[in-house]
Amino acid sequence: MTATVRTTRRRDGAAGVLFPVIEQIFGSQPPFRLRAWDGSEAGPDGAPTDGVPADALPADALPVLVLHSRQALRRLLWHPSELGLAQAYITGELDIDGDLTEGLRAVWRTARDRGLAGARLPAGVLGAAARAAIALRIPGPPPRPPASQARISGRLHSKSRDQAVISHHYDVPAAFYELILDPQMAYSCALWTSAEAGYTLADAQRDKLEAICAKLALAPGTHLLDIGCGWGSLAIHAARNHGAQVTAVTLAGEQAAFVRRRVSELGLDSLVTVREQDYRDIPAGRHDAISSIEMGEHVGATQYPAFCALLRERLRPGGRLLIQQMSRGSQAPGGGKFIESYIAPDMHMRPLGETVALLEDAGLEVADVQAMREHYTRTIREWLANLERRWSESTAMIGLESARVWRLYLAGGALAFEEGRMGVHQILATRPSASPSQP
């Protein structure tokens, strides 16, 4: 077996000035070529040429990092992190010629292998970068953030701030989510129970919803409180297929309106009540079952113990609780600068063990935990494929900049689960039956 040897070609121009600095940052040849705004190119062979569609490239083709403007580098000068790169990509000042997912994977892998994540650059590299920036007239005032970047103010996890955070991501036309999700509008990790060719995202989401209903032992007359009901997939499935009485709670006005319309169209008004409210305002009362599907990430670190206490209080003795929640290591509880700036500001994820401990501290008994990380990788890739297939419709509906936010979000999210940087679990718990010492 003969290894493929990639050589490096350099050309005059901006790419020729920048590429030696990039090599110093990476410690060796980076896994991409570079094309600059003046048409110059530099980097290893094996990268796609301009104008060749991604699906026509050989499997080992390297992506090309395309700098359409000096502004992309000016953003990196002010935000030398994933935020600067994300801003440049979202605005179209930076692009990848080739498959975005593969480009991100190659860069992440190289950064990990060479210990670049979080590392401070040596003084010599910083000096070379400064000289290149001056030569290319990069220094200047900070560019304005893209219009799609969240602008959130107020006290952390106050009701008004949480409302603004949720509105930023969810109060867009439901029709956009209909483009990328399955017909049930499930915006959470699916459960892939079959490898058959005809098994679809809709099947996997149906199987996830059915698994939740089974774990909660839903039956006609059972009352389910669905906190963070999203676009209503679980609430509607539980009522329609199991005869459960459901109270569906969401903080997003667009979601509440959509779920009410869908409930009415399906004739489920007698079974499903939709409330647009903060979870902290849920009236007192005890329910047979409670679900919280990928909502706990928005609660916050200091508020989570009170959230667990509320779950216990709203659950009758002997009742069941199902939480589906993303997890992350304690050293990186947020989603990263990009996620926190464009998708879910104030997000907080914790290791699985911490969530279990908090539930137990609240007086709940954890009965079962199911890991679903690999399932989320496939789920998100299906959403990304839907976005790409319906790209023109998506950009017409939400604008090109926001569509590029979604493309970067989904491509990066799938990789985070694939590489184990994030996890997701279903946690089943019960409230123990009342005893003489417990109310």
- The Cα-based distances of 59 to 54, 233, 238, 290, 410 in angstroms read 10, 38, 44, 47, 22
Res 118: pLDDT: 60
Return d(Cα 359, Cα 164) in angstroms, integer.
27
Residue 335 tokens read as 């989603």
Residues whose CB falls within 8 Å of the CB of residue 339, separated by 6 or more in sequence, listed in order: 347, 409
Res 11: pLDDT: 56
Cβ atoms 304, 274 nearer than 8 A: no
How confident is the chain (439 residues) per 10-residue block, as mean pLDDT?
A: 38 88 85 93 67 45 90 92 92 92 85 67 85 94 93 91 88 93 98 96 98 98 97 98 98 96 98 97 96 95 96 97 91 77 90 96 98 98 98 96 96 94 96 67
Domains observed in the chain: 8-135 (no CATH), 159-430 (3.40.50.150)
* Tokens 């990990």 found at: 112
Cβ atoms 319, 290 nearer than 8 A: yes
Res 67: pLDDT: 96
Q: What is the pLDDT of residues 191-223, one digit of tens each?
A: 999 999 999 999 999 999 999 999 999 999 999
Cβ atoms 244, 215 nearer than 8 A: no
Res 50: pLDDT: 43
Residue 177 tokens read as 């989510």
Q: How far apart are the first and last CA of the chain?
A: 72
Cβ atoms 179, 390 nearer than 8 A: yes
AA letter at 311: L
- The Cα-based distances of 428 to 192, 194, 199, 394 in angstroms read 19, 23, 27, 37
Cβ atoms 362, 311 nearer than 8 A: yes
Q: Is 337 strand, coil or helix?
A: helix
Q: What is the pLDDT of residues 95-125, one digit of tens each?
A: 999 889 988 888 888 777 766 666 677 888 8
Extended strands (E) in 334-390: 365-371
Res 5: pLDDT: 34
Res 109: pLDDT: 81
Residues counted in the chain: 439
Q: What is the pLDDT of residues 52-107, one digit of tens each?
A: 444 444 445 678 999 999 999 999 999 988 899 999 999 999 999 988 998 888 88
Cβ atoms 324, 273 nearer than 8 A: no
- Residue 190's nearest CA partner among 237, 255, 245 is 237
- Cα torsion 211, 214, 219, 222 to 10°: value is -90
Half-sphere exposure of 9 (CA within 13 A, CB side): 7
Q: Is 346 strand, coil or helix?
A: coil
